[in-house]
Amino acid sequence: MSEDRKLGFDTLQIHAGAAPDPATGARQIPIYQTTAYVFRDSEHAANLFNLAEVGNIYSRLTNPTVSALAERITHLEGGVGGICCSSGHAAQIMALFPLMGPGCNVVASSRLYGGSVTQLSQTIKRFGWSAKFVDFDDLAAVEGAIDENTRAVFCESIANPGGYITDIPAIAAISDKAGIPLIVDNTSATPYLCNPIALGATLVVHSTTKYLTGNGTVTGGAVIDSGKFDWMQNDKFPSLSKPEPAYHGLCFGEALGPMAYTFHSIAVGLRDLGMTMNPQGAHYTLMGIETLSLRMDKHVANAKKVAQWLENDDRIDYVTYAGLESSPYYDRIEKICPKGAGALFTFAVKGGYDACVKLVDSLELFSHVANLGDTRSLIIHSASTTHRQLTPEQQEAAGASPNVVRVSIGIEDADDIIADLDQALTKATA
């Protein structure tokens, strides 16, 4: 096929990173279940360690199966390079690692997954980092929160749990003006519904555990670099713009240009943090991505139908799905997520906390799990589980109030999903 022809999304989700195995001709990507790789000779080994030649050294750094997955997601996101790691939380730390240092901070959206709020507000303090949480609908507040020690801006494209849609171009403009990268968690949207890099993001992170895998079998994460950020433009990112003492004084930005961030994440990040994805997990995710667009279309269609039904039900106070015309985020869909608003949202049940708990316990088709993005419909009461560690104010800001449940709508028959919600709501609000 001509190199000038740009392949479509449906083709890339099957073929990107998936050439037949050169050793056996295997059509599906093999699971390279190995820890190490034999060097051709001493010069070959030295070249690999000097980053003068691309190849495999040790599976904590690279593995052919995992690399194929990273290449596929990179193509789908429109980046230049990427790495895969052990979980979505690992991906967030990996994304920040080349950027941050003691005393540095990240400006983060107040609308994030509860575990991310805890990671950024508590855990990263142990590295000497800190986070400032801001309502990203208030652009002046975002700009005002950035100071001389800010090294990144962080948000979700479709925020978990409420399904709120972030105005990525507006946030990107603020980040660009400040000369710092914008990191977008694209887990809930996937590259099929949203393309953060095309909207101005520097880096994209994923929990591949969710929609990319799509079947609830393995955990994983990914960090994709746009290749568009000039790490040499200022002295804020010495790991990339100055000689890196953790890698015999190599200046990654000078030596590797647009690939500097990706190679640093492998040669230093994965080497020293060890947040490695296993090859069998990568294989499951590769197979899941092959049907991503088909699944997401069904997820979106079901979510819209279920959300409309819930909005018209007297037992429900409100529904946060951005695909509803009543949503304040409805106007952002065409610009941010033109193929749909995803399948993750919350709704408030009349009767408050007790009614929410009874609803969850009364469902039959839904699975009560701490996950999202599965082919199955999933539900959880965030205030008592995923967001339990947050203060009431943080829960409110994140969209996880006590009277709210989060749903991840699956690809079952939509009428069956609605019927299950109907019978459970009858019991919960009796």
Each residue's pLDDT tens digit, 349-374 = 999 989 999 999 999 999 999 999 99
Q: Specify which of 44-53, 66-75, 396-405 reaches the highest per-range mean pLDDT.
A: 66-75
Q: Does residue 402 sit within a domain?
A: yes
Using pLDDT thresholds of 50, 70 and 90, give the confidence band for residue 4. Answer: low
CATH number of the structural domain spanning residue 263:
3.40.640.10
Q: Which of 45-54, 145-154, 372-381 has the lowest mean pLDDT?
A: 45-54
| 223 and 334 co-located in one domain | no
Of 237, 272, 288, the residue at which a domain comes to its end is: 288
Please determine, for residue 389, whether its predicted confidence score (pLDDT) is greater than 90.
Answer: no
Least confident range from 15-29, 89-103, 331-345, 406-420: namely 15-29
Mean of pLDDT values over 129-133:
98
Q: Are residues 223 and 309 in the same domain?
A: no
Is 390 or 429 the better-scoring residue by pLDDT? Answer: 429
pLDDT score, position 320: 96
Find out whether 410 and 377 touch, Cβ atoms under 8 Å: yes
Residue 114 within a domain: yes
- Report CA-CA distances (Å) from 49 to 35, 59, 60, 243: 16, 14, 14, 16
Is the confidence at residue 201, as pLDDT, over 60? Answer: yes
The percent of residues above 70 in pLDDT, for the chain, comes to 98
| End position of a domain, from candidates 288, 303, 331 | 288
Examine the domain organization and report whether 284 and 302 are in the same domain.
no
Res 114 pLDDT > 90:
no
45 in a structural domain: yes
Q: Residues 13, 149: one domain?
A: yes
Q: Which of 253, 271, 288 is the last residue of a domain?
A: 288
Whether the per-residue pLDDT at 2 is higher than 60: the answer is no
What pLDDT does 1 receive?
47
- Per-residue confidence at 278, pLDDT binned at 50, 70, 90? very high
Pairwise pLDDT comparison (382 vs 70), residue with the higher score: 70
pLDDT band at 91 (very low <50, low <70, confident <90, very high): very high
Does the residue 143 lie in any domain? yes
Compute CA distances 396 → 330, 369, 386, 387, 388, whole Å: 21, 21, 13, 10, 12
Q: Answer with the residue of higher pLDDT: 282 or 160.
A: 282
Confidence of residue 135 (pLDDT cuts 50, 70, 90): very high
Which pLDDT score, from 0 to 100, does residue 82 have? Answer: 97
Is the backbone peptide bond immediately before 161 cis, with ω within 30 degrees of 0? Answer: yes
Q: Find the mean pLDDT for residues 90-97.
A: 98
The answer to the question of residue 283 being in a domain is yes
Question: Residue 408's beta-bridge partner residues?
Answer: 344, 378
Q: Let me know whether 80 and 176 are in one domain.
A: yes
Residue 1 lies inside a defined structural domain of this protein: no
Does one domain contain both 315 and 354?
yes
Mean pLDDT of the chain: 94
For residue 196, give the nearest of 344, 337, 308 by alpha carbon: 337
pTM for this structure? 0.94
What distance in Å separates the CA atoms of residue 257 and residue 361, rounded to the nearest whole number?
Answer: 54
The tokens 């849609």 sit on which residue?
A: 165
Contact 74, 191 (CB under 8 A): no
Q: What is the Cα–Cα distance from 260 to 255, expressed in whole angstroms?
A: 7
Percent of the chain with pLDDT over 90: 88
Q: Is the pLDDT of residue 386 over 90?
A: no
How confident is the model over 399-404, as a mean pLDDT? 83
- For the cut 70, the answer to whether the pLDDT of residue 3 exceeds it is no
Please indicate whether residue 418 or residue 382 has the higher confidence score (pLDDT): 418
**φ and ψ at 108, to 5 degrees?**
-120, 150
N-to-C CA span, the chain: 62
The CATH code of the domain that includes 381 is 3.90.1150.10
Same domain, 245 and 153: yes
Enclosing domain of residue 157? 9-288
Instruction: Based on the fold, state whether residues 27 and 121 are members of the same structural domain.
Output: yes
Query: What is the dihedral sign for C-alpha 183, 93, 219, 283?
Result: positive
Predicted local distance difference test score (pLDDT) of residue 35: 96
Do 186 and 213 share a structural domain? yes
In this prediction, residue 19 has a pLDDT band, given cuts at 50, 70 and 90, of confident
pLDDT at 92: 98
pLDDT computed for residue 274 by the predictor: 96
Residue 4 lies in a domain: no
- Packing angle between helix 414-428 and helix 352-362, nearest 10 degrees? 130
Q: Are residues 119 and 229 in the same domain?
A: yes
Q: Please tell me the distance from the alpha carbon of residue 132 to that of residue 30, in angstroms, as a whole number.
A: 43
Considering the domain architecture, whether residues 29 and 165 belong to the same structural domain is answered as: yes
Query: Do 219 and 246 have their domain in common?
Result: yes
How many domains are there within the chain?
2
Give the dihedral sign, CA 345/349/354/355: negative
Q: Is residue 73 part of a domain?
A: yes
